[in-house]
Structure 1
Amino acid sequence: MLIRKPDDIASSEITPEGFYQNRRAFMGTVGAIALGSAVLPGVARAGAMQDDKVTPEEDATSYNNFYEFGTGKEDPKEQAKDFQPMPWSVNVEGMVKTPRPYTFDELLGKLPVQDRVYRMRCVEAWSMVIPWQGVQLKDVITRLQPLPSAKFIEFTTLLDPKRMPGQRRAVLPWPYKEALRMDEANNSLTLLATGMYGKALPNQNGAPLRLVTPWKYGFKGIKSIVKIRFTDKMPNTTWNDANPSEYGFYANVNPTVDHPRWSQGKERRIGEFLRRNTLMFNGYADQVASMYSGMDLRKNY
């Protein structure tokens, strides 16, 4: 009998660790994982370009914005190392058929697992290319059955200063909140991510559940989600509340609309020396531009 050591096993044969954290969710998704969880060579690269080299995992997990664990880029990895993301539940509220708390398994179990390599652009003009694992948000929305009158979906991060020491300082109006229009939420690019690089989502990257919208600036990627609310009114969002002149509700990547304190026309890809041109909608215009037809994207930034 041939016994292979871990180094001999291909990444496509390894089930992402995140699903072991919830046995029933893992059992419900294992079939989908077996069909397509290879993360790096050959993974679906929705909208990715030939020069989109995947950012080294160490960089993507060590250079983070997650103010709940500190405002420095290196703070989250250190401050979040003892955070326990499981068990986890998400309270579903508002204009929805059955508002109630959902366990991690009830929310995501048996939904098709997606492997996506996405460019991610930060409003601070740096970017990465990250291989994500998760489920399409539209599949979760279908499961939750919002009412036809729901026009927006709002997300809220865990509020627990004991577990998230950055919340002990009033650097932002806690808890962190973000939101999307329903058409944005139902776009096929939008993910609820549970993993990256073929592993469970690291604490510093938003474990166990975060939003990924690759055509928007990174602050829209709300992390450690504990509440989903459906509403017919545009919700307040944290950075827009904190500084509306710098952070708009839509936050679509747009090289023609500069941040008040720096240009958005160029970006620095982590790991590269030279800056590159920023792409409209971060390069995903073919998939998302139609949602904003007729809108003034300088006004609706």
Structure 2
Amino acid sequence: MSVYRPPEVAPSEITPEHIYLNRREWMQGAAAVAVASMLPSVEAAAPPKAALPTFYKSRFSTNEQKNSQAEITSYNNFYEFGTDKSDPAERAHTLKTEPWVVKVEGEVAKPRSFDIDSLLKFAPLEERIYRLRCVEGWSMVIPWVGLPLSALLKLVEPTSKGKFVEFTTLQALDQMPGQRTGSLDWPYVEGLRIDEAMHPLTILAVGLYGRPLPKQNGAPVRLVVPWKYGFKSIKSIVRIRLVEKQPVSSWTRANATEYGFYSNVNPEVDHPRWSQASERRIGEFFKRKTLMFNGYAEEVASLYKGMDLRANF
């Protein structure tokens, strides 16, 4: 197996903290208008016009102020389209989302494939307004529309050997220019423990702001795990596989000392090159204190009872 070396230049993930902060400080903190104007235009980043089927408001939503549609669709991490935050909105138009099939296989009694129409029909859709906290120190509040991952997993009947869930993104070099670089070992892979995957907060998102997911946000279906750093919420999923052993996530493979498997939001465990104690909400000037488990501690802390969260970061 070849040894992966992180890219020499990856603006938000790889640069040292002082350079990163100098570069992003003014852009992130000035105001929502500055973010929208400095990044791709609202027109270029606009979500699809077609509406999603009927959905209901979820009891899990936060009552915090949502970020604007322009902010959410213009400022993204999606390395398949480039390492800069503006790259996905500028380049993701090349992604072909129809037809799309998600295979669910591995340690299950009833392996099955789902197209997007079947995903939209077999479980009620919910709007869930979730906080999103990224490892680089910025955050948003996003009105996702999706379905509980647990509903899909129950349908395929995991066996006793299905202790982890591995997710894989589409690999298509002709559609995803970032995959033609060495920024990561493609395709992108992420994983959860089975109890994390079955937790009611974990969803498969198919839309935001009531409409289908824009391509730069992970169309047509992505994972959302709100108590973990954003890179755990893998985008443009084509395969879900239940496995017995802990899968190796893409960022863990790239740099295991900086990106652990669990990646729970934890203000007490810093990234080796910057603090995680505070964050800046996109559109706000001042930083705010980072909340344990991104503010979802009451719901998820019991999953990690007895674990050393510094060792299992």
TM-score above 0.5, yes or no: yes
- Residues paired across the two proteins, number: 266
Distance 1:193 1:204 in 2: 13
Contact 1:156-1:176 within 8 A present in 2 as well: yes
Matched, 1:17 2:50: yes
Residue of structure 1 equivalent to 2:289: 277
Matches within 5 A, 1:227-246: 227-246=239-258
- Cα-to-partner distance string for 1:49-88 (whole Å, 9 max, x where unaligned): 5xx2100110110000000011110000010023221210
Cα distance change of structure 1 residues 86 and 145 upon mapping to structure 2, 3 Å threshold: same
Matching residue's letter, 1:173: D
CA distance in 2, matches of 1:47, 1:134: 12
Give percent identity, aligned residues only.
56
Q: By how many angstroms is 1:146 displaced?
A: 1.5
User: Which residue of 112, 117, 122 maps to 2:134?
Assistant: 122
Please tell me the residue identity of whatever aligns with 1:299: A
1:80 corresponding residue in structure 2: 92
Q: Which blocks of at least 5 consecutive residues in structure 2 are unaligned?
A: 1-48
Partner of 2:152: 140
Q: Once superposed, what is the RMSD of the aligned Cα atoms?
A: 1.6
Say if 1:136 and 1:207 are closer, same or farther in 2 by CA, change over 3 A: same
TM-score normalised by structure 2 residue count: 0.82
Give the residue type in structure 2 aligned to 1:46. Answer: F
Superposition pairs for residues 215-254 of structure 1, below 5 Å?
A: 215-254=227-266
Is 1:46 the counterpart of 2:57? The answer is no
- 1:206 aligned to 203, 210, 218, which one? 218
> CA offset at residue 48 of structure 1?
2.0
* CA–CA distance in structure 2, aligned partners of residues 189 and 59 of structure 1: 23
Classify 1:230/1:159 alpha carbon distance in 2 versus 1 (closer, same or farther; 3 Å). same
Aligned partner of 2:164 in structure 1 is 152
Q: Is the 8 A contact 1:108 1:140 kept in 2?
A: no
Deviation digits for residues 176-197 of structure 1, max 9, x if unmatched?
A: 0001011101111001000001
> Are 2:73 and 1:61 equivalent residues in the alignment?
yes
- Match of 2:93, SS state, is coil
The residue that corresponds to 2:180 in the other structure is 168
Q: Deviations over 1:266-288 (max 9, x none)?
A: 00000000000000000000110
Contact in 2 for aligned 1:155/1:178 (Cα 8 Å):
yes
Q: State the alpha-carbon separation in 2 of the partners of residues 74 and 86 from structure 1.
A: 24
CA distance in 2, matches of 1:60, 1:111: 25
Report 1:279-294 matches (<5 A): 279-294=291-306
Check 1:277–1:126 CA distance in 2 against 1; reply closer, same or farther (3 A cut): same
TM-score normalised by the chain length of structure 1: 0.85
Q: Distance in 2 between matches of 1:149 and 1:278?
A: 36
Q: Which amino acid aligns with 2:249?
A: T
Deviations 1:85-117 (A, max 9, x none): 121001222111133533233444231111100
Give the distance between the partners of 2:71 and 2:291, measured in 1 at CA. 22
Report the Cα offset of residue 170 of structure 1: 1.1
Distance in 2 of aligned mates of 1:110 and 1:296: 38
Distance 1:17 1:229 in 2: 30
**How far 1:220 sits from its partner (Å)?**
0.2
CA deviations on 1:140-195 (whole Å, 9 max, x unpaired) are 11112111221011000000010111100011000000010111011110010000
Structure 1: give runs of 5+ residues left out of the alignment: 1-15, 20-29, 37-42
Distance 2:220 2:231 in 1: 17
**Contact kept in structure 1, 2:61 and 2:128, CA below 8 Å:** no
- The equivalent residue for 1:70 is 82
Q: Is the contact between residue 45 and residue 117 of structure 1 (CA under 8 Å) also seen in structure 2?
A: no
